[in-house]
Amino acid sequence: MTTPVPPVPPASRMEMLIFERGLWDQAWFQILLCLVFITLDWELMPVWVFPFIFVFPVMLVAWNHSLGFALACAGGLSLTRMANQLIFTAHPALWNELTDVLIRFFVLMLLAMLTWQLGRQSRQLRQRVRSLEGMLPICSFCKRIRDNGSNWVQMEQYISSHSEAEFSHGLCPDCAQKYFGGFEPKK
């Protein structure tokens, strides 16, 4: 009979990175941040060109939310420069702006995909580490471990169900001496 695997507890606030908690994790805050960067870009456009300021909000959205939301932000942020040119310029250079939008979108899309993948892997690794850390109630005689359901299971079974570890059994020299009077198994 196999015992069910208990769920992994959620990450504590101390385990989470700074941009995974508080306002940084909220979708409304990230949208507001995108709007602030769009406003800065529109106001500074005649003076300076800062297309790299869109990297931060896209990466923040990609780390904390879905890839689709991050790609939508990348597309929206990329199109704002073209919209600014079409609205405020008397003779917009349409092909130049379209090329600029496409290049910016593909760069932001690549960054979003990479950041999303890194965020997902980081959360999975933290979850795996949490699944085997902490205090384990273990019997001092038979070495069975008490799981969350108050069932006592063999240590090998508990570790196998909470990790990808596999066990093979052997006989150490001390136990061979103690239980079999010095019988040495073949190596």
User: What would the pLDDT profile of 11-43 be if each residue is shown by its tens digit?
Assistant: 555 566 665 667 667 778 878 877 887 777 767
Whether 2 has a pLDDT exceeding 60, the answer reads no
CA atoms of 99 and 115, how far apart (whole Å): 24
Q: Give me the half-sphere count of Cα atoms (radius 13 Å) on the Cβ side of residue 65.
A: 19
What integer pLDDT is reported at residue 51 of this predicted model? 62
CA atoms of 187 and 180, how far apart (whole Å): 16
Helix, coil or strand: residue 152 = strand
- Which phi and psi angles does 149 have, rounded to 5°? -90, 15
Helix, coil or strand: residue 5 = coil
Count of Cβ atoms closer than 10 Å to residue 57 Cβ: 23
- Class of residue 180 by CB neighbours under 10 A (exposed 0-12, middle 13-18, buried 19+): exposed
pTM across the whole model? 0.56
What integer pLDDT is reported at residue 8 of this predicted model? 42
Closest C-alpha among 132, 129, 122 to residue 16: 122
Q: Which tokens belong to 45? A: 């456009």
> What percent of the chain has a predicted confidence (pLDDT) above 70?
73
The residues with which 146 forms a beta bridge, in sequence order, are 152
CA atoms of 107 and 103, how far apart (whole Å): 6
What integer pLDDT is reported at residue 15 of this predicted model? 60
> What percent of the chain has a predicted confidence (pLDDT) above 90?
7
Whether 128 has a pLDDT exceeding 80, the answer reads no
Quickly list DSSP for 7-73. Answer: PPPPPPTTTS-GGGSGGGG-HHHHHHHHHHHHHHHHHHTTT---GGGGHHHHHHHHHHS-HHHHHHH
Whether 87 has a pLDDT exceeding 50, the answer reads yes
What integer pLDDT is reported at residue 4 of this predicted model? 45
CA atoms of 102 and 146, how far apart (whole Å): 57
174 vs 109, which has greater pLDDT? 109
What integer pLDDT is reported at residue 109 of this predicted model? 92
119 vs 2, which has greater pLDDT? 119
The pLDDT confidence band at residue 175, using thresholds 50, 70 and 90, is confident
What integer pLDDT is reported at residue 114 of this predicted model? 95
